Chains A and B, each alone.
Chain A
Amino acid sequence: MIEHTIIFTGPLRSGKTSAIASVSDIPVVSTQEVTSDLVLDLGFGITQDKSATLVMDYGCMNLGGEERIHLFATPGDERFDFMWDALTEGAIGVVILLDNSRRSPLKEMDFFLNAFGTLVEKRRAVLGINRMEEHPIPTLRTYQERAGLLEVQVPIFELDPRQPKDVRTALRALLYSQDPGLVQSPV
């Protein structure tokens, strides 16, 4: 069995599990539980939450034969960041999901771009902003300007993780970023 990894990360309830479910070939192995007593204040105004991803959620995409891509959702809690490093090694890339309804999504963007800096530098990262319909501010323009100030150039998209097309678009951008010469094989 040949195995690869794509990571989905982001703060609590940013849509990581939904995003995996949108593209996974199997039902997501979900470990969501009510964990409000375990939610930490990361300095972004997080004080409570009804449920949170405590343990990694998992899905996969079969590439055919004995080859597959594991889709991992990281726990959205920095106490588990030792797991992020382990996952990052050898990963195809990372999809960073942010929730625009939260108090400081821009600070969270800084945090996750920094936490996955190794992949960001190698153009193996894409950023998706969730819940922009109901919460249009900060605008995508603000995120783009912020990324420009950080001298980071990753694709930044408005992304509804429940929409498979949105998630596939983000994943395709992740692949083309690494190799613009990539072309789809004729069917």
Chain B
Amino acid sequence: MTAVEPIKVGAFGLDDRARKLLSLFFAGPCKGRFALVSQFQADVLIVDLDRPSGWNYYQTQNTINPSRPLVAISLHRDREMEVEFFIKKPMRLETVLQVLEKAAARVHGASLSSKPPERPKPPSPQSVASKSRLEERKEAPEEYQFLQLLRRRPKADLAQIKAVAELFYDPAQCIQGHLQRTIQIARAEKQGMQISGFWGRLYIDPLEERAYSELLDSRLRPLTVMRISQREIEVIPIEPDHLQALRQGKNEAIRVITSIDALLWRLSLWSSRGRLPKGTDIESPVFLRHWPNFTRCLETPNAMRIIALWARQPASLTDTLEALHVSQAETFALFSAALAVGCAGIGRRQADSLLSPVPLEPTPQRSLLKRTLNRLFRHEEES
């Protein structure tokens, strides 16, 4: 970002009048220092906490993209709601300017530093191109963020129908579902496809199994909490010349290059947020077709143990929880991603009398395997 470029400010929950006033204020007294943009392009996001779901939206955005400053506005400042930047309503323009300047300082500070303070070390990059590796290093640590998100999901009583109902989400209503359909078309037709919307463009190359994105992950993640209808999406074939340009790195707008599965995996995890795809029977056996590519796909807590269990024999989600003593959120998020990329499927439910917890006998070598595992983790910490 250059010095003359305005700070991009997005707003959630402001009505048309407030948005217009803000826009005039930015263009006039602020002399173009700030610009009102869509929330997906914003460097700083204003959130009206007095709107229904305002606080939920604030929390979700804070978890999904903690490096982006959020400015909360409200009639009252609730002490329980910890916010970094706050403007009390009615908003006075000079206060707005002061707070936005502070938030902007954090944006500039973050862009100068590659590491956010007091956070675990960022995970290694998931993308394949050196350009994207460079850019992904600047982002907040995704594994840490995702873990925080999962920890906030309360454990549901699976015996309670209402609690179980709240565990589901509909991938078809999310960017995940739209991307899944685009990938299906691309693979079936063996044709490069472009999926685009108000947020930007993604390109799918089924021959090389690569995805090209105009958005950094920090800009993609906020999309996963939104309902996006089919009308807001355009899916069209990519011209051969354009596909070639993408492969040769000649499209300057591309920010991240990754494998198709790694992209879909990541978006599915974030869309799921510890929930299950609508219609999943938690008592039906999950079977594994193949392991996810864990060197390039985000490895969630206990992911390898769960996948290894399903690789040995199909196990229902409830049996998986019992056999491995893992959390619902991490199991359900992993299942959602595995189902989306097609490495896992769900079988027909058997008669209840046939269902039993998966017997998981320790191998005679468990002690040795554990010492080896600990050695590898020590390596991880030392490096």
B-binding residues in A (CB < 8 A): 4, 23, 61-64, 67, 69, 92, 123, 128, 132-133, 136-137, 139-141, 144, 147-148, 153-160, 163-166, 168-173, 175-185, 187
In the bound complex, do residue B377 and residue A184 qualify as a contact, i.e. CB atoms below 8 Å apart? yes
A23 to chain B, nearest CB (A): 6
* Chain B residue contacts of A181, Cβ below 8 A: 305, 323-324, 360, 362, 366
A-B contact pairs, 14 of them (CB 8 A): A63-B372, A92-B365, A128-B295, A137-B207, A155-B294, A156-B291, A158-B259, A165-B383, A168-B376, A172-B376, A179-B308, A181-B305, A183-B305, A185-B374
In the bound complex, do residue A178 and residue B259 qualify as a contact, i.e. CB atoms below 8 Å apart? no
In the bound complex, do residue B369 and residue A175 qualify as a contact, i.e. CB atoms below 8 Å apart? yes
Contact indicator per residue, chain B 285-296, by CB within 8 Å of chain A (1) or not (0): 000111101111
Task: Please give 16 more A-B residue pairs, beta carbons under 8 A apart, in addition to A139-B208, A180-B309, A182-B369.
Answer: A23-B379, A61-B375, A63-B372, A92-B369, A92-B372, A123-B311, A136-B209, A141-B209, A157-B293, A159-B295, A163-B124, A181-B323, A182-B370, A182-B373, A184-B373, A187-B381
In the bound complex, do residue B368 and residue A182 qualify as a contact, i.e. CB atoms below 8 Å apart? no
Taking a contact as CB atoms closer than 8 A, the residue among A140, A141, A156, A180 that contacts B308 in the complex is A180
CA distance A24 to B180 in the complex (A): 40
CA distance A159 to B209 in the complex (A): 16
In the bound complex, do residue B295 and residue A169 qualify as a contact, i.e. CB atoms below 8 Å apart? yes
Listed from nearest, the 4 A-B pairs whose CB atoms lie closest are A180-B308, A155-B291, A139-B209, A136-B208
In the bound complex, do residue B360 and residue A180 qualify as a contact, i.e. CB atoms below 8 Å apart? yes
Interface of A is mostly: mixed
B204 to chain A, nearest CB (A): 13
* Chain B residue contacts of A175, Cβ below 8 A: 369, 372-373, 376
Most central of A4, A165, A179 by chain B CB within 10 Å: A179
In the bound complex, do residue A140 and residue B324 qualify as a contact, i.e. CB atoms below 8 Å apart? no
CA distance A158 to B375 in the complex (A): 23
* Chain A residue contacts of B360, Cβ below 8 A: 180-181
CA distance A181 to B308 in the complex (A): 9
B304 within 8 A of A: yes
CA distance A9 to B282 in the complex (A): 40
In the bound complex, do residue B309 and residue A170 qualify as a contact, i.e. CB atoms below 8 Å apart? no
The count of chain B contact residues (Cβ–Cβ below 8 Å) is 48
Using known A-B contacts A141-B209, A180-B308, A182-B305, determine if residue A92 contacts B368 with beta carbons closer than 8 Å.
yes
In the bound complex, do residue A158 and residue B306 qualify as a contact, i.e. CB atoms below 8 Å apart? no
In the bound complex, do residue B295 and residue A158 qualify as a contact, i.e. CB atoms below 8 Å apart? yes
* Chain B residue contacts of A133, Cβ below 8 A: 128-129
* Chain B residue contacts of A144, Cβ below 8 A: 289-290, 343
A73 to chain B, nearest CB (A): 18
B16 within 8 A of A: no
A74 to chain B, nearest CB (A): 20
Using known A-B contacts A69-B372, A136-B208, A181-B305, determine if residue A173 contacts B379 with beta carbons closer than 8 Å.
no
* Chain A residue contacts of B306, Cβ below 8 A: 180
Using known A-B contacts A63-B375, A137-B207, A164-B379, determine if residue A169 contacts B299 with beta carbons closer than 8 Å.
yes
B161 to chain A, nearest CB (A): 30
B261 within 8 A of A: yes
Using known A-B contacts A172-B376, A175-B372, determine if residue A180 contacts B291 with beta carbons closer than 8 Å.
no
Most central of A67, A136, A173, A175 by chain B CB within 10 Å: A175
* Chain B residue contacts of A62, Cβ below 8 A: 375
In the bound complex, do residue B291 and residue A178 qualify as a contact, i.e. CB atoms below 8 Å apart? no
* Chain B residue contacts of A172, Cβ below 8 A: 304, 373, 376
Minimum CB distance partner of B296 in chain A: A158
Taking a contact as CB atoms closer than 8 A, the residue among A92, A168, A185, A187 that contacts B370 in the complex is A185
In the bound complex, do residue A180 and residue B365 qualify as a contact, i.e. CB atoms below 8 Å apart? no
CA distance A177 to B311 in the complex (A): 8
* Chain B residue contacts of A123, Cβ below 8 A: 311-312
In the bound complex, do residue B209 and residue A180 qualify as a contact, i.e. CB atoms below 8 Å apart? no
* Chain B residue contacts of A139, Cβ below 8 A: 208-209
In the bound complex, do residue B290 and residue A179 qualify as a contact, i.e. CB atoms below 8 Å apart? no
